Amino acid sequence: MASRAPVRFPGSGGPGVNKHLSPRSARSDSMGERRRVSAWSEDGGARAGGDPGGGGGRLVPLLRGIFHVEKTSCDVSLTSSRLLWSPIRPDTPGSSKVQAQPQEASIELKDIFSVKLKRRRLAGQEKGGTLLGLTIFVCIRKGHKLKEKAIDFHNLSEDFCDIWHRQLKEILNGFPNRPKCLKVIINPHSHKGEAPNVYYRHVAPLFKLADIQAHVTETNYKGHALTLLKECELQEYDGIVCVGGDGTVSEVVHGLLLRAQMDAGKTVNGNLSPVRAPLPLGIIPSGTTDVLAYSLHGIKHPVTAALHIIMGNIQPVDACTFSTEDKLLRFGFSSMFGFGGRSLALAEKHRWMPSSQRRDFAVIKTLASLKPDSCELSFLPISSQQLPFHHKRKHEDSLPEDKDEWKHIGGELLNVSIMAIPCLCSMAPGGLAPNTRLNDGTMELIIVRNTSRPEFVKHLKRYATQKNQFDFPFVETHLVKEVKLCPQNTQNGNGFYEHTELSEDLHPWNIDGDLLEASSEVHVRLHPELINLYGSNIEELDEAKATCNCL
Ligand SMILES: Nc1ncnc2c1ncn2[C@@H]1O[C@H](COP(=O)(O)OP(=O)(O)OP(=O)(O)O)[C@@H](O)[C@H]1O
């Protein structure tokens, strides 16, 4: 017997149901063939196998039969890459009328995430019931949003539906990266206690539909996720899912990357060359700002996040290490020092306030006592050789050619942002760092020098508009690989630390929305594609529209 060629499923493309008028390569079956199930090979022989050409433009049915779709009797074919159906037109003997081509619809198999036998059941009945056919669950994309759609294929024959069900399941099981078992970590306090509700209402039913086992832990204290990730048997899982706001995501990312270093036997110190995270991480946005989820999915939408996980859409993302000379402080994606760090420190002191009020209160209060930090800042710009293609034309001339050359800046700085991801959020839809991308091997360094309060406010307000927020004489941006920042004068004299009760020697950093206090120089290094996140490259998706707005 000839051996079966493996079925290959091509990668990405536009999901959804396609309806188009086209001549069918396969002839519609007559109603008399209703119970006949054929599995066609390339040479027409009946076998339940794959298409060695992987689709390759030719429609080679693996299965073909008749179902009712939307109350119309349809000729349905399953090829190795698509499910196609078109209405059956009965022959009218003697009619000379030329019949219009039947409207054909199809879905790509890679867009299907579940197939279930559909049964009519009485209320409360869990098993059995009269078979009605199959329901196919498809992931459809509308802009950045992903949605589920169910399509019913009715046929009352158990044997017939069973063959289709098994064949479709086998195909779905062959898709890479689709998780079967996940560890889910929920912060029950995120966004006024909404996170569990978001998970159980919007995400858990989709995981169940996709036959994903989810082992859920609700955290009991700050640091619980970190402890959990240090101790749990990661090999049991295909991925980790975090349900919470930026602070929780930051803790989980740090925990997952720390665990990777432990497992690799690495000494975790300031010079660490980190290994990659062992498992992909899914982020279900349930906080107030949700910068990471927004940057990853282009939208703050738990169902979109869940469907990226279910579909196994993997996006490698650059991450940073934040360290002192001898100690690793943190893994993360973005940081702010100065105004951004102080306002977070102040917000954390007022956790009893509702989160949106807390943030506004902290920003206003920090603006009221706005003052610069005296800093020594060094950075290693990326060279013109390392410049990602999307920046090439604008930046090439201003960069060092190919050798590493540290640059130094000293003085009074109001804010320093160092970001490896664009940090999209509702307050800054274009991103806090619009010139970097999720995995382009660069961090954007944004330095805001001392200026008057009204000018600084003007700069901040621009983030919410289309205008260039960096177009001020006191702002400069660089694409960098490393940054060292050392505050010079820890005594600020106006009592700011009295508000926050921070020690005078400690400087607040905002790292991915989580507060970190450091007393000495912090060294930030970029590590390309250190972690896989469930999501897609929205920048590539928007590429056609996007224009580089680098300074
Ligand atoms: N059970 C818990 N009790 C107290 N704190 C927790 C618990 N679980 C996690 N945390 C911590 O709570 C902090 C804030 O969490 P998170 O950012 O998810 O919520 P949020 O502040 O409501 O959201 P956002 O930051 O978007 O406003 C994180 O630093 C996290 O480590």
Residue-wise pLDDT tens digits, 23-77? 333 333 333 333 333 333 333 333 333 343 344 445 678 999 999 999 899 999 9
Residue 389 has pLDDT above 70, yes or no: no
Whole-model pTM above 0.90?
A: no
pLDDT for 426 equals 85
The pLDDT score that the predictor gives to residue 390 is: 63
∠ at Cα 504 (500, 505), nearest 5°? 125
- Compute the distance from residue 256 Cα to the ligand 1 centre, in Å: 17
Stretch 418-441: mean pLDDT:
93
Q: Which two tokens stand for residue 302?
A: 């738990």
Highest averaged pLDDT of the listed ranges 382-391, 459-468, 504-513: 459-468
Which residue's C-alpha comes closest to atom 9 of ligand 1? Answer: 222
- What's the rounded mean pLDDT across residues 297-302? 94
Instruction: Return the best residue to mutate from 222, 252, 291, 516 for the ligand 1 pocket (most ligand atoms within 8 A of CB).
Output: 222
Question: What is the CA(286)–ligand 1 centre distance, in A?
Answer: 10
192 alpha carbon – ligand 1 mean position (Å): 10
Tell me if residue 63 falls in helix, strand or coil.
strand
| 503 pLDDT more than 80 | no
CA distance 390 to 442: 12
ipTM here: 0.95
- In Å, what is the CA distance from 505 to each residue of 198, 415, 493, 502? 40, 18, 13, 8
- 3-state secondary structure string, 461-486? HHCCCCCCCCCCCCEEEEEEEEEEEE
SS3 label, residue 47: coil
108-143 tens-digit pLDDT? 999 999 999 999 988 888 888 899 999 999 999 999
Q: Which residue has the higher pLDDT, 393 or 493?
A: 393
Cα gap 153→66, rounded to integer Å: 9
* Cα(134) to centroid(ligand 1), Å: 42
**Whole-angstrom distance, CA of residue 137 vs CA of residue 306:** 14
Mean pLDDT throughout 161-182?
A: 96
- Ligand 1 midpoint to CA 182 (Å): 21
pLDDT value of residue 1: 36
496 — pLDDT class (breaks 50, 70, 90): very low
* Residues within a 6 A CB radius of ligand 1: 187-191, 219-222, 224, 244-248, 251, 287-290, 355, 513-514
CA of 489 to the centre of ligand 1 (A): 31
pLDDT of res. 520 = 87
SS3 state at 56? coil
pLDDT digits (tens, 9 = 90+) for 334-354: 999 999 999 999 998 888 888
- The secondary structure element, H or E, covering residue 84 is strand 82-87
Average pLDDT over residues 499-515: 73
Å from CA of 250 to ligand 1 middle: 10
DSSP string, 270-323: TT--PPPPSS-EEEEE-SSS-HHHHHHHSS--HHHHHHHHHHT-EEEEEEEEEE
Name the amino acid, one letter, at 253.
Answer: V
Q: What is the pLDDT of residue 162?
A: 96
Q: What is the pLDDT of residue 550?
A: 35
Hey, which of 185, 189, 426 would you mutate to test ligand 1's pocket, going by the most ligand atoms within 8 Å of its Cβ?
A: 189
Among 184, 186, 190, 289, say which to mutate for ligand 1: greatest number of ligand atoms within 8 Å of CB: 190
Which atom of ligand 1 lies at the shortest distance from residue 187's CA?
A: 8
pLDDT for 157 beyond 80 = yes
Centre a 10 Å sphere on the Cβ of residue 44 and count the other Cβ atoms it contains: 8
Question: At a CB cut-off of 8 Å and minimum separation 6, what does 363 contact?
Answer: 343
Q: Which domains does the chain have, with CATH numbers?
A: 17-87+102-121+128-173 (2.30.29.30), 178-312 (3.40.50.10330), 316-551 (2.60.200.40)
**Who has greater pLDDT, 495 or 424?**
424
Question: In terms of residues, how long is the chain?
Answer: 551
| Residue minimizing CA distance to atom 17 of ligand 1 | 247
Mean pLDDT of 298-316: 96
End-to-end Cα, the chain, rounded Å: 65
Q: Residue 236 carries which DSSP code?
A: G
Question: Does residue 233 or residue 491 have the better pLDDT?
Answer: 233
Is pLDDT of 189 > 70?
yes
The DSSP line for 421-432 is S---BTTBTT-S
pLDDT of 498 higher than 50: no
